Amino acid sequence: MPDTTTIESLEALRLEALRELESASGEALEVWRSKYLGRKGRLTQVLRGIVGMPPDERRSFGAAANTLKEVLENAFADRAAAVGPKPADTGLDVTLPGRRPLQGRLHPVTQTVRDIAEALTAMGFQIVEGPEVEHDYYNFTALNIPPDHPARDMWDTLWVDRVDAEGNPRILLRTHTSPMQARVMEKTKPPVRVAVPGRCYRYEATDATHEWHFHQVEGLAVAEGITFAELKGTLYEFARRIFGPERKVRFRCDYFPFVEPGVDMAIDWKGEWLEIMGAGMVHPRVLAGVGYDPEKFTGFAFGMGVERIALLRHGIDDIRHFAANDLRFLSQF
Ligand code: PHE
């Protein structure tokens, strides 16, 4: 048994205890604690021995022993904090497979807009965008639909609550992307060939194929000598790229005030036809209105409904799903 009553023996005890503690973890930590600091531990015994010491030694030795006790207690607390509780203590099983984080992706309408833009870009159209809050001049008048013309009823319009000097509302949420036809032509000399994706709004009752807000992509091509055959060729090629060569397409006459002749295109849907776009040859009055000579230039325009195209491509039964923000629907795409 080594002498435990000298300052040197305390120093030896300190070194030994700290060395052992350096590598202790888990259960070994508890073993260490009772070995040195426990009721029958080495330091406790040293402290007990103080009682029998001569008084002059007792004071300095006692102080040193108490300091050592503090040092060991602190070292133990540090080590325990550093090594931490054992995994088994917290009930954490690190071998279990982890939970997958939710992964975001593009909305199906955004994906469809991008696919449409890509198809049209490959066919030579340049992508431009325009304002959603429009002047009635661009939404209607410039498109050969003057104020008070009954054709304005074709679009159920959401007007902005502001009137001009005569008390007439002038600002609206655009009902289609067609106002960009005039905006682009006003700023550009022919030839032009642009595609305009964007949001549109209509004040109307919703059902499986109608929403009060939706997306369109407008197309416009104006140059010398453009014919109806080019419109038809462009739209068939577009349908082939988006729906594949097998899908049935219907092309027939329709009326829009800003085209002559006007047509619409429909795609085979559940044994019926679903209209996906209006189109036609740009009306001479629209060309004249933006300062193009209608004797010299001709062109075609089309405007398609993006949600309807997404519906057809994915076999979805109701257009209202797109804006319902339900992850069970959205995570399919
Ligand atoms: N703007 C028309 C609509 O929303 C579609 C259209 C665009 C028709 C271009 C002809 C030419 O109904």
pLDDT in tens, 146-184: 988 887 877 889 999 988 888 888 999 999 999 999 999
Expressed in angstroms and rounded, the spacing between residue 271 Cα and the centre of ligand 1 is: 25
CA pair distance 274, 207, nearest whole angstrom? 14
Distance 107 CA to ligand 1 centre (A): 24
Q: Model confidence at 1, in pLDDT bands (50, 70, 90)? A: very low
* Number of Cα atoms under 13 Å in the Cβ half of residue 53: 17
Quick: pLDDT tens for 225-272.
999 999 999 999 999 999 999 999 999 999 999 999 999 999 998 889
Longest CA pairwise span in the chain (Å): 126
* Six-digit token string for 118: 């890509």
The Cα 267–Cα 247 span in angstroms is: 7
Q: What is the pLDDT of residues 279-321, one digit of tens each?
A: 999 999 999 999 999 999 999 999 999 999 999 999 998 999 9
Ligand 1, closest atom to CA 304? Answer: 5
**Interval 115-149: pLDDT, tens:** 999 999 999 999 999 999 999 999 999 999 998 88
Ligand 1 nearest atom to the CA of residue 178, by list position: 1
Long-range contacts of 130-133 (CB under 8 A, 24+ apart): 130/174, 130/177, 130/179, 130/180, 130/183, 130/196, 130/198, 131/174, 132/173, 132/174, 132/198, 132/199, 132/200, 132/201, 133/160, 133/171, 133/172, 133/173, 133/174
Average pLDDT over the chain, rounded to an integer: 91
Overall average pLDDT of the 38-51 stretch: 85
Q: What are the residue numbers of the active site? A: 155, 176, 202, 216, 259, 301
CA of 210 from ligand 1 middle (Å) equals 15
Ligand 1 centroid to residue 262 C-alpha, Å: 9
**Mean pLDDT value of segment 6-26:** 86
Mutate to test the pocket of ligand 1, among 153, 202, 256, 258 (most ligand atoms within 8 A of CB): 256
**Residue to mutate, 196, 209, 253, 258, ligand 1, most ligand atoms under 8 Å from C-beta:** 258
> Tokens 């809050």 label which residue?
133
Ligand 1 atom closest to the CA of 154, numbered from 1: 12
Q: In whole angstroms, give the CA distance from residue 203 to residue 154.
A: 11
Residue 19 structure tokens: 């060395």
Ligand 1-lining residues (CB < 6 angstroms): 176, 178, 256, 259, 262, 278-280, 301-303
Confidence class for position 86, pLDDT limits 50, 70, 90 = low
The residue contributing the CA closest to ligand 1 atom 12 is 278
pTM: 0.72
